Amino acid sequence: MMNIGSGAERRMGRIRRCIGIAAIWGGVVSALFWAAAETAWSLEPPNSPTPALRLKMGDSIGVFGLKPLVEKKGDRTLFIDEMLGPKAEKPPKALLLGFFASWCPPCLKEFPEIKKLAEKHKSAGLEIVLIAIDQENQGIKKARDFVVRQKPSFPVLLDRYNIVVRRFFEDDASLPSLFLIDGRGKLLEAFVGETPLPKVETAILPHLK
């Protein structure tokens, strides 16, 4: 489980202060900067406590809109209330909403399994939306390149300023994280940290009947 909270923010603050130095020294120092940034993220304690959720079971996830991570001609902002709730033309029986980042190895590892889950249960009424929370340009590019290679059939959005992910957690957020949501936009279950996908699937199935 990888936390993104106050400690990480302090480290990122120190890293950002190095940007001016990186600009002076050019490409070599820039490469070292990015390597250091990703290493800092990866040093979170593996057995750290599960972060507290801001949303409780049964709460509405609210309304938000994000642009696709990989933008194509004609793409527009996806508003979640177009998929869920009274404004949705055909709301799904269940939505699996997940957060990931290019610097989160467990997130990248589970991505292909989530693709299989989407293909397996699409016809039964399952929708999936994944949201990248990378903030720096290089991380966003890595996430974008990864998604292009994966070719998912579901929307993958970008929460660059972490506005949406902060709705789900109190102080520290954690990756990977998956949230099961019903067609009305109510939170049904949360899977924080590395969770076997069969366990997630077992939780989804009763809501597809």
Per-residue pLDDT tens over the stretch 89-104? 899 999 999 999 999 9
- Domain for residue 48, yes or no? no
Alpha carbon 9 to chain centroid, angstroms: 17
Which has more confidence, 141 or 46?
141
Alpha helices in 60-136 (DSSP H): 105-121
| Domain identity same for 78 and 180 | yes
What total of structural domains would you count in the chain? 2
Query: How much is the pLDDT for 49?
Result: 60
| Domain identity same for 36 and 125 | no
Cα→Cα distances 160→47, 62, 119, 132, Å = 26, 18, 27, 7
| Domain identity same for 75 and 37 | no
Read off the pTM: 0.78
Query: How much is the pLDDT for 130?
Result: 98
Reported as a pLDDT band with limits 50, 70 and 90, residue 59 is very high
Asked if residue 69 lies in contact with residue 144, where contact means CB atoms within 8 angstroms, the answer is yes
| Domain identity same for 94 and 197 | yes
Q: Which two tokens stand for residue 197?
A: 């996908």
- Give ∠ CA 93-100-23 in degrees, rounded to 5: 150
Asked if residue 92 lies in contact with residue 83, where contact means CB atoms within 8 angstroms, the answer is yes
- Domain for residue 59, yes or no? no
| Domain identity same for 35 and 89 | no
- Domain for residue 87, yes or no? yes
Amino acid identity for residue 199 in this structure? K
Q: Please write the tens of the pLDDT for every residue from 4-30.
A: 655 444 444 433 443 343 343 444 334
Beta strand 173-175 with 78-79 is: unpaired
| Domain identity same for 97 and 170 | yes
Assign residue 116 the CATH number of its domain.
3.40.30.10
Amino acid identity for residue 174 in this structure? S
- The helices-and-strands tally (H runs, E runs) of the chain is 7, 9
Look up the domain containing 33 and give its range.
2-42
